[in-house]
Each structure stands twice: as structure tokens, then as C-alpha cells.
Chain A
Amino acid sequence: MSRSIALLLVLAVAACGGDGDGENTGGIGRVDSTSLVTIVTADQPSVLDPHSTSNGGDVKVIHQIYETLIRVDPSDVNRMVPALATQWTVADDGLSIQFQLREGVTFHDGAAFDAAAAKLSLDRLREDGFELSRAPYKPEFGDVAGFDADGHTLTMRLSSPVARVALRNLTMFCASIVSPTVLEASKSMDPDAATAFVTDNAAGTGGYRVDAFDQKAKIARLVANDDYWNGKPSIGTLIFTPVSDESTRTEYLGNPNGHFLVDDVPRQHWATVESSERMQLHSWWALNLCYLGMNAKHEATKELGVRRAIQLAVDREAVMAHYEGTARPTYSLVAQPMAEYDRGLRVPDWDDDHAKRLATATKLIDEAGAKGREITIYYPQMPRPYLPRPQNIADTVRQSLKAIGLDARIQGEENSVLFSQVSTGQYELILIGWMTDNGDPDNFYSPLADGADGKPAENNTSRTFHADVHAKLLAARQLSSAGERVTAYRDVERALQTDVAGYTPLVNTKQAVAYSKGIKGFVIDGIGHYRFDEATLE
């Protein structure tokens, strides 16, 4: 219901743009339709506090309002480029990084940007001197000892030499710098009120500032920031409107009125967009993977032999058939576009053709005495970008398991239920995926295959902790040379797949956004984050 209201609202806004009163448009008001882009997203924005959210709907808006010290290079996901920091140097011992910050930058509320302002935000996301109701990215900054601010020089102190990962983490939206005036004012509030306050008074340094945010309809209107350090953006207004229904979202692709960007376009429509006269498709190999998690603690999958057999049995070609040509087989936990993805890596027997692999796997199942064992593959009911047809893909995996003598069945769960199921270990096999936020291999291994204090991390599907793997990962985190990293992570991957066998990588997929051909020069990086501050309209 709210979806259709939102739709009507946006159409009304777009339609009555230039003329008349336009008063009846909810909390959004009147806009100039000649310089407007409507961004149609699948997820709803609700919180504009970068330090206290992990919701995709929020992130897309946050990227326009706030900025980070450094960014991922839009043309090469393995490189980083300046943003609010103009340059940075890593100390020889690897235990500190010094940033030179951009001068003459002001926040939307008029506050000046300096090292003290940056420190305040970076402290807040780590809950250093602040209390947050949610601090989803705090663990990523566990190696940070603190920040020292001096004029426009910021020093980041680390407790171990993990500069590479630390820099990568600073490119994430959660490391966005929020106006110090707002943060100071929120300090005395209770955590929920503070987040609401930061949302209501959202002030960053980005190319756009919040003009209106209708919390009920979840529609955000942003307008160009006149004082943006890189020059006032050419596109005057951005409207973010959430449309969760796939087919309704698809209808925007044919909308002739105005300029649109449509996120999460279903794969079966990609070809239509590509041949469309009004819209164009930007697709790229995403930093993601879809994999089959295998619980080493569950009764049905406790034997290593059974898990190894499942690894060998899966038919990636058959799985790929469900992706309309937008997936490729992947053999490691690291996303394939990343420099650390090792194309040479194979676990023993993987190179055999599928029939031979099935024979080997069947033997392993027989040896484990698991023939005819009942085994359930859990899958999310709603599609994910890396899992477009969950039920069909789960069934295809089931077919492979049946072929090696297991009595496999599939069970769909509501997405939120399924994701929380991982941490409680209530599954034997789980069809799931991961998208990185920062493009570092550590962002795959630490959450998905490691843990701390002898316990597996929340999203570790093997549900086991391996001291050996943990040590290897700690060592790999400290490497900065590209060559050494490839070798180190190859070592980690091999150990994980042969000794732990807590997952089977399936495919790496493409992701796409569709946007009106009239939008030129908008920037989108390999992680899928886009900004409009350099874009123009034709």
C-alpha cells in the first residue's frame, strides 16, 4: 500500500514540477523537474546516520550527503583515491597512518571541516566516547587504537600493522564524516534519540544536502550543495524513492517523464534495457559471491568427508543457468574481480569433469556411511542480488546432492530468519552470499570463515573456529605487497577448503543499474556505490 502511495507521490512531484502550487505532495513539496533525477531503489531509506546503519537503502542516500576521507577508485576497485583527505602516508612500522585533509571544506550546517571533525566521526562509529544503539561496523575497526587531530592533519594509530585493511575500511560509508556540531549536540541524548537527531539534522560535506525526508513514505529529497568544495553539482535535485516490488520497479524503465535511475533491475529485464532508447544499463562484475555454507557442527554434515563430497558434487554450470548469463563459476571465498582472487587455485579433484567428481563424491559419501542421509538445504525466500531465483538454484544444488546418494530436500525461510539462522547454527546446508563493503579480502575471510576467542564469527557458516586459519588470516592482514597477499590468501583458502570445508563457492555475479540516457558522467565504483556530484543532464 505504502508503495503505491509512494509511487503516486513521485509521479505527482514529477508531473507538477515546474508549474502551479504543488502543495499536495506530502512532506516533499515542489521541485524543478528540469533538473531532477528520481532514484528508484529496492530498499527503503530510514536512518541517515552513517555510523549506525547497515541498510542498503540508507547507504545510497548517505553516499550523496556525506563523504569519507578516501574512496575506492571508480575505474579500479583495487585502488584508493583522495576524497576529504588529499594524501596519506603509512608509517614505516605500519602502526600509524597520517592523513592530510582538504582545506576550505564546510559542512551543510556551516561547520568547518578539520581533523578534529574527522576524529569525532571516526570515534563515534567505534563507540569511543559515544554510545550507539547499533554500531554494525565497529568490529572492522577493532585494530584502531585511536586518532590524533592537529589542524588539518589526522593520524590514525593502529594496534597491529594492518594499514591496508584500515585504509580499506575508511572507504566504507560507515566512515563518513558528519558535522561536529550535530554530533556534539547528539552526545547527551540516548542512543535511539541521537540517531534520530543525526537523521533529522543530516549534515555532511557531500555534493547534496537533505531538503526533505518523508519518514513515513521513506522518500528523501536532496538538493545540490551550493558550497560543495568540488563545485556545485549540475543536477539540482535528487529524489530517492523506495519501490520494493520488482515488477512495479521495472515499470519505471519505460517511464517517459523525467530522468530515472533504477536500482536492482531483475536480470530478465537487462536485455530489454540494453536495447531501450531511453534507458541504458551499467553492469559490472560485482564484489560478491554466492556460496553453499556447510555446518561442521550439524549432525548431518559433521564428517569432513561428507562436506568434501558436497563440494565436489555441486554443478556450477547448472547453477549458472539460472542467472541469464550474468554469472561465472567461482572457486574461492574472495570475490573474483579482486586482485587477491587466485585463478590458479583448485582444491584436489576439482579439475575433474563433473561425472568423475560425482564418482569421487559418491565414494566419499559411502565411506562416511552417509548414503541415503536426509539433508536439508535452506535458502532465502526473497531474491538477493547474488541469488536471483533462490528456490530454483536451491533445487539445482539439491539435484547434485541426490546424484551422490544423499536424500536432499530444500526449505525456504524468510530472509531475516535465514540470516539470523547462521549465527545459531540451525542448518546443515545454507544457500547464501556475501557482498563486500570495502573490497578487501579480509572483509570476506574475517566475517565468513574466522572468529575470535575460540568462537566462530556470526556469519561463519562452518560454525567452527580454527586456530591455524585464524593465525594465517592475522598474518595476511598485515601484508601490503600485492604478490605476498595473493600467496597468503591462497594458503588460507586451501586450508579452509580442504581442512575445514565449511563452504562451497558457487558463482560470482554481475550487478546492474539502469538509468536514463540523459544522465551523463555520474560516478559508480566497483562496489556499486554511485554519486551524482559530477553528473549532468542532457
Chain B
Amino acid sequence: MSRFTDWLWRFLRYHRPALVGTVLVMAVVLTAVVGPVVLSYEPDDVFSRFAETGSKHLLGTDSQGYDLLTRMVYGARTTLAIALVSMSMSLCLGSLIGAVSGFAGGKTDLLLMRGVDIAMSFPGFLLAMVAVAILGPKLENVIVAVGLVGAPMFARQVRAEVLRVGSAEYVTAARSQGFGPSRTLFLHVMPNSLSPIIVLGTLGMGSAILDVAGLAFLGLGGDPYRIPEWGLILTQGWDQRPDANLQVAVAGLAIFVTVLGFNLLGDGLKDELDPRTRRR
């Protein structure tokens, strides 16, 4: 543990942008975890519509009479959860494809990588839009679509890592001891290819939040009231301008700050974990 704290301390000290990113991300995570406990309302408690900001409603209420602050706080929870789930999906699927492709080589590699090439030749957001349009505008479909679209990036990165690590001496040693391919891959190759995945995962959180919010903004997000989500809150506010100007500003700012946080943190991690740029 102390090795990790030492590392963290050094990391944050030398990477000021990453420090800012960490603080932002921690603030959002803390809001999502602790916020609902502190708040006095539930997200679907109904008050008068477009109530003024004041002591009763810090950020006022929206067109449906819901307390905006409450929905933003619960929204942090759903937004983070959605991003985490879809990013994890990208990560697992992408890593699996990349690892198999890099480790197996030959025709499997060729086939998988051309598939990834095709997927990457489309703008990801466009592909996600098509997927949601086909599957239907529901939040679970949005998660699946964003998850699928993010997978090729991971596949590429993991394949490159596996190729690099695969020729290392300890892998050859494992092979020469007679370990099967799956044991070699998952016990010796993958653990040593983790650092770029961590970086991509952090950056992926940011882009997943943006994609989900973007899809919601285009009306592909599903029921905006039952599940408060920042993109949906933003969309609703946009439809109700100028009455809901504050709502647009608050939701937009929340998305901006969170995505910025994840990106700064991811950038810092990239510098730290890359042996070429690492400070000593």
C-alpha cells in the first residue's frame, strides 16, 4: 500500500494537470456517492414548475416540477454508472479481441484486425447513432451502443501490447515450460500489458460520458424523467428555453467538468505509465 501511496504522491506532485483532473473526478464521484444521502428530496418528488432558485430549491425546478439539484446529483450517479458500464464493455470486448488477435497471429489476426479497421473507419458517434436507431431509443441500448463503438480502440492498443510483450523472455520461458496458450496469455502476457489499458480506460470514461450525453441530446436517450441523466437533463432544458436556461448551463457545465477531469487524469497517467516520458 505504501508503495502505491508513494507512487500516487509523486505522480500528483509532478503532474499538476492530473492533480486537477483527480480533484474534479473525485468531486463528481463523491457527489454521486454521498450526495443522495445529504439531499432532502427524491428525484421524482414533484413541486411547482420552474420554481425560482432559493433556499427551498437551490437550482430551482424544471418544466416537470422536479428539483434540479436533486436530479443533477442523482444524475451524477447514473451518468458515471452508465459511462463505467459502457467503458467496461468496450474494455473487456476490445481487450479480448486484441489479445486473441495479437497472440494467435496469422489468419485470425488478419481477420480480426480488418474487422477492427472497418469499425474504426466510421466516426464512432455515427455508428452509435445507427446502433441506437436500430435497437430503439432506450438507455440500455445506448450503453450497449457506446460500449460496442469504443471496443476497437482497446483492441488495437491491446494487440500492440501483446505483440510487444509476447516476444519477451519470460513469455518464451513460460512457453518452453509447456504452458498452454490461454495460460500464457492470461497469466503472463495480459498482466504485463495493463498500463495502456488503464490509460485508455480513463480517457474512455470521458468519451463515453460525451457519447451518452450526445445521443440523449439527439433524442435517442429514452425516458428522461424516470432515470435522471445529465445528457437528458440538458436536452430537456434545451427544449424549454428560455425558461430553463439555468438547467442547460448547469447540466452542460457538469458534463464539461467531468469529461475534462477524466481527460486530464488520463493524460497524466499516460505520461506516468509510459516508460519514455516517465519522470524519475
Contacts and interface: CB of A to CB of B under 8 A. Distances in A.
B239 A398 contact: no
Interface string B46-65: 10010000000000000111
Contact of B64 (A395, A409, A411, A412): A395
A300 interface: no
Interface in A389-416: 389, 391-392, 395-396, 398-399, 402, 409-412
In the complex, which range does the number of interface residues on chain A fall in?
10 to 19
A259 to B, nearest CB: 30
Contact of A410 (B46, B225, B236): B225
Interface residues of B, number: 14
A412 B137 contact: yes
Contact of A392 (B46, B63, B137): B63
A409 B224 CA distance: 10
Interface in B218-244: 219, 223-226, 236, 239
Nearest to B44: A402
Given A321-B49, A389-B239, A412-B137, A399 B223 contact: no
Contact of A399 (B46, B219, B239): B46
B103 to A, nearest CB: 45
A402 B236 CA distance: 21
Interface in B198-232: 219, 223-226
Nearest to A389: B239
Interface string A197-216: 00000000000000000000
A411 B223 CA distance: 7
15 contacts: A381-B219, A392-B63, A392-B64, A395-B224, A396-B64, A398-B225, A399-B44, A399-B46, A409-B223, A409-B226, A410-B223, A410-B225, A411-B223, A412-B137, A412-B223
A392 B50 CA distance: 13
The 9 A-B residue pairs with the shortest CB-CB distance in the complex, in nearest-first order: A395-B225, A399-B46, A395-B64, A409-B226, A410-B223, A392-B63, A321-B49, A392-B64, A409-B223
A197 B71 CA distance: 57
Contacts of A381: 219
A410 B224 CA distance: 9
A436 B64 CA distance: 30
Interface in A311-340: 321-322
A391 B238 CA distance: 14
A389 B49 CA distance: 15
A395 B239 CA distance: 15
A334 to B, nearest CB: 30
Contacts of B239: 389
Interface string A15-40: 00000000000000000000000000
A396 B219 CA distance: 19
Given A395-B224, A410-B225, A410-B226, 4 more contacts: A391-B224, A395-B225, A399-B46, A409-B223
Contacts of A412: 137, 223
Interface string B96-118: 00000000000000000000000
A260 to B, nearest CB: 25
Nearest to B239: A389
Contacts of A321: 49
Contacts of A389: 239
A246 to B, nearest CB: 11
Nearest to B241: A268
A399 B46 CA distance: 8
Nearest to B242: A268
B14 to A, nearest CB: 49
Contacts of A396: 64
Interface in A364-395: 381, 389, 391-392, 395
Contacts of B225: 395, 398, 410
Nearest to B49: A321
A409 B138 CA distance: 13
Contacts of B219: 381
B47 to A, nearest CB: 11
Contacts of B63: 322, 392
Nearest to B64: A395
Contacts of A410: 223, 225-226
Nearest to A400: B46
Nearest to B225: A395
B226 A399 contact: no
Contacts of A392: 63-64, 236
A410 B49 CA distance: 19
A84 B236 CA distance: 50
A388 to B, nearest CB: 11
A399 B137 contact: no
Contacts of A402: 44
Nearest to A321: B49
A411 B64 CA distance: 16
Interface string A244-281: 00000000000000000000000000000000000000
A232 B173 CA distance: 98
A381 B136 CA distance: 12
A344 B107 CA distance: 80
A142 B239 CA distance: 45
Nearest to B243: A268
A395 B46 CA distance: 11
Contacts of A395: 64, 224-225
A381 to B, nearest CB: 7
B52 to A, nearest CB: 16
A381 B219 CA distance: 9
B98 to A, nearest CB: 38
A530 B224 CA distance: 39
A411 B138 CA distance: 9
Interface string B246-275: 000000000000000000000000000000
A360 to B, nearest CB: 20
Nearest to B224: A391
B105 to A, nearest CB: 46
A409 B222 CA distance: 11
A398 B226 CA distance: 10
B72 to A, nearest CB: 17
A58 to B, nearest CB: 28
Contacts of B137: 412
A402 B137 CA distance: 23
A410 B138 CA distance: 11
A412 B64 CA distance: 17
Contacts of B46: 399
Nearest to B219: A381
A409 B236 CA distance: 17
Contacts of A398: 225-226
A399 B223 CA distance: 13
Contacts of A399: 44, 46, 64-65
